[in-house]
Amino acid sequence: MELLENLKWRYATKKFDSSKSINKDDLEKLKQAVQLSVSSYGLQLYKVLIIQNKELKKELREAAWNQSQLTDASHIFVFCNYTERDNRDIDAFIEATSKIQNTPLEKLEGYGDFIKTSLSSKPIKEWQNWSEKQTYLALSNLLTACAELKIDSCPMEGFEQEKFNSILGLDQKGLNAAVIAPVGYRSEEDHTQFRKKVRKPKEILFEEI
């Protein structure tokens, strides 16, 4: 299984080679991998910003405790969850499902009502926490796709959300920067790549019942 070998190859890259950039074809593959991610109910209540602008990356680096990945990586994926629940998002999903799967809209309305009831029952803080978690599902697809393409990545929670939101104008868009992932190519100077991967033994990690 080649995927396992690729996952063994990947690591959280600490230093990127700033002279190398991801080509357009590979970037489109990464975008498609994120697009195909699972999400609760299939709603995908998030947006993904892909930052390449050098000046903007410098600004974001200052809001991420001056970590070099922000400026040295080819691109920064910023996974943003929705901050407000809106039934129109569910209606749009149901309409898209009807069109793509060629199913009469009236047959899907009950499912749409079920989703609305389920999500509206959550207190707003719980809903926002749920919404943030959705972005991590998409992040996982990105990291796996990067490994398949031999593109390096570094998932990061080490940044100031409020500053990111302000710099990127996310508050006005009803979005929140939940998690980020600089992607690109490792520097030969990154000695982290030579460390052996540390993971729990399978007999501890798993319990078969």
Mean per-residue pLDDT for 165-176? Answer: 97
Q: Is the pLDDT reported for residue 153 higher than 90?
A: yes
131 exposure class (CB count in 10 Å sphere: 0-12, 13-18, 19+):
buried
Q: Is the pLDDT reported for residue 134 higher than 90?
A: yes
Mean per-residue pLDDT for 22-33? Answer: 98
Q: What is the tens place of the pLDDT at every residue in 182-196?
A: 999 999 999 999 999
Q: Report in angstroms the alpha-carbon separations of 142 from 26, 34, 58, 171.
A: 12, 6, 23, 25
Amino acid identity of residue 10, one-letter, is R
Q: Provide the token pair at 74.
A: 């080819």
What does the pLDDT read at residue 55?
98
What does the pLDDT read at residue 119?
96
Q: What is the tens place of the pLDDT at every residue in 38-48?
A: 999 999 999 99
Q: What is the tens place of the pLDDT at every residue in 94-116?
A: 999 999 999 999 999 999 999 99
Q: What is the tens place of the pLDDT at every residue in 75-84?
A: 999 999 999 9
Q: Is the pLDDT reported for residue 66 higher than 90?
A: yes
- Return the exposure string of 66-99: e unless at least 16 CB atoms fall within 10 Å of the residue's CB, then b: ebebbbbbbbbbbbbbbbebeeebbeebbeebbe
Q: What's the pTM value of the predicted model, to 2 decimals?
A: 0.97
What CATH number is attached to the domain comprising 59?
3.40.109.10
Rounded mean pLDDT of the chain? 97
Specify the number of domains making up the chain.
1
Q: Is the pLDDT reported for residue 117 higher than 90?
A: yes
Q: Is the pLDDT reported for residue 71 higher than 90?
A: yes
Q: Is the pLDDT reported for residue 161 higher than 90?
A: yes
What does the pLDDT read at residue 1?
83
What does the pLDDT read at residue 144?
98
What does the pLDDT read at residue 9?
97
Amino acid identity of residue 188, one-letter, is E
Tell whether 114 is covered by a domain: no
Q: 36 lies in which domain range?
A: 2-84+126-205
Tell whether 52 is covered by a domain: yes
